[in-house]
């Protein structure tokens, strides 16, 4: 065989080897990368999580604990509100949308119009605590009183048993699932199409922590936060279903047994056909280890 022939044979083997190497590299990338809503490998990948500020601390701890045992998976968590997360899942910019409320019909219609089937995953329970400054003498309010306060019908603390002074209403912004839930279940007594709005004087704050911080330093303030945000240096009020009922303290037990009037499920929304990496993560979250994290952060697990 001539030198030229040997050179041609060597070049052929070299090209074939390069093609095989590239093929294996492509397979490896397929296992390691998760695309939003697409099929992916279960051995590893990345997951984007966006949405509810109520859930952001819970979601962050879930992610950290999961990645300790699954270092091949990278999970990035950001907040912004339930509406932000749901918009992101519809637009294809996140794998999981955290939401402290159910999707609205318009959001479902928007997803359908884009050919997207969104899957609802219930991952925990939460109580909405109504909080005031620790020096406020009021210790309990009925649902009707809360509705009248947050809609602006009651404006002075003396009208609900407190010291005289103007009530300062603290609310989440409108893109918050907590804002929407409280408006529907308290101001509008469970009517999703109710017309009662928050008082125009309400201060709209960007996060649950911002409400906690304001209540700490404002003796006239009243706001609402997820159960996991209640601290010892603020007061969580007992809530009565009606004037004749006994006030119930917001706790994990009272949310789980249904006696606390202001409670809700927490959701993670995904696309149908989510990657195996995302599915494995959701299975872990709703299993014993993930639900243990729920309890640690003083939210309420799905089951006792």
* Bridge partners of residue 266, in order along the sequence: 124
The closest alpha carbon to 299, from 259, 250, 261, 258, belongs to 250
pLDDT of residue 293: 96
Residue 265 near residue 122 (C-beta atoms within 8 A): yes
pLDDT of residue 256: 87
Joined together, the tokens standing for residue 84 give 């932000």
Three-class SS of residue 107? helix
Total-model pTM: 0.68
pLDDT of residue 189: 87
Long-range contacts of 103-111 (CB under 8 A, 24+ apart): 103/269
Residue 266 near residue 54 (C-beta atoms within 8 A): yes
Residue 304 near residue 256 (C-beta atoms within 8 A): yes
Joined together, the tokens standing for residue 90 give 């519809």
Reported residue count of the chain is 304
Q: Which residues contact 179 (CB under 8 A, 6 or more apart)?
A: 171, 172, 173
pLDDT of residue 44: 82
The closest alpha carbon to 146, from 301, 261, 295, belongs to 261
Q: Which residues contact 235 (CB under 8 A, 6 or more apart)?
A: 131, 132, 133, 134, 136, 139
Cα separation of 247 and 143, whole Å?
10
Domains of the chain: 39-125+265-296 (3.40.190.10), 126-263 (3.40.190.10)
pLDDT in tens, the chain (304 residues): 443 343 443 344 434 443 334 333 333 433 334 434 333 334 689 999 999 998 999 999 999 999 999 999 999 999 999 999 999 999 999 999 999 999 999 999 999 999 999 999 999 998 999 999 999 999 999 999 999 999 999 999 999 999 999 999 999 999 898 999 999 999 998 887 789 999 999 999 999 999 999 999 999 999 999 888 999 999 999 999 999 999 999 998 899 888 999 998 999 999 999 999 999 999 999 999 999 999 888 789 987 5
Cα separation of 34 and 193, whole Å?
38
pLDDT of residue 304: 57
pLDDT of residue 191: 81
């Amino acid at each position: 065989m001539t030198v030229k022939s040997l050179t041609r044979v060597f070049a052929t083997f070299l090209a074939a080897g390069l093609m095989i190497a590239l093929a294996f590299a492509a397979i490896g990338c397929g296992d390691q990368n998760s695309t939003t809503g697409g099929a992916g490998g279960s051995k590893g990948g990345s997951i984007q999580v966006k949405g509810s500020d109520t859930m952001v601390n819970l979601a962050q701890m879930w992610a950290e604990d999961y990645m300790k045992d699954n270092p091949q998976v990278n999970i990035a968590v950001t907040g912004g509100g339930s509406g932000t997360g749901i918009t992101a899942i519809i637009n294809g910019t996140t794998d999981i949308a955290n939401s402290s409320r159910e999707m609205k019909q318009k959001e479902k219609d928007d997803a359908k119009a884009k050919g997207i089937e969104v899957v609802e995953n219930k991952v925990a329970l939460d109580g909405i605590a109504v909080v005031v400054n620790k020096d406020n003498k009021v210790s309990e309010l009925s649902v009707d009183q809360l509705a009248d306060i947050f809609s602006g019908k009651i404006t002075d603390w003396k009208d609900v048993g407190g010291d005289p002074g103007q009530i300062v209403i603290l609310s989440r912004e409108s893109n918050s699932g907590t804002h929407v839930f409280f408006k529907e279940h308290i101001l509008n007594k469970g009517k999703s199409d109710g017309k009662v709005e928050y008082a125009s004087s309400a201060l709209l704050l960007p996060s649950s922590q911002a409400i906690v911080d304001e209540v700490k330093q404002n003796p006239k303030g009243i706001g609402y936060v997820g159960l996991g945000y209640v601290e010892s240096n603020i007061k969580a009020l007992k809530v009565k279903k009606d004037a004749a009922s006994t006030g119930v303290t917001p706790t994990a037990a009272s949310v789980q047994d249904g006696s606390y009037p202001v409670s809700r499920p927490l959701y993670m929304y995904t696309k149908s056909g989510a990657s195996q990496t995302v599915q494995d993560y959701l299975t872990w979250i709703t299993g014993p280890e993930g639900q243990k994290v729920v309890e640690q952060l003083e939210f309420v697990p799905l089951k006792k």
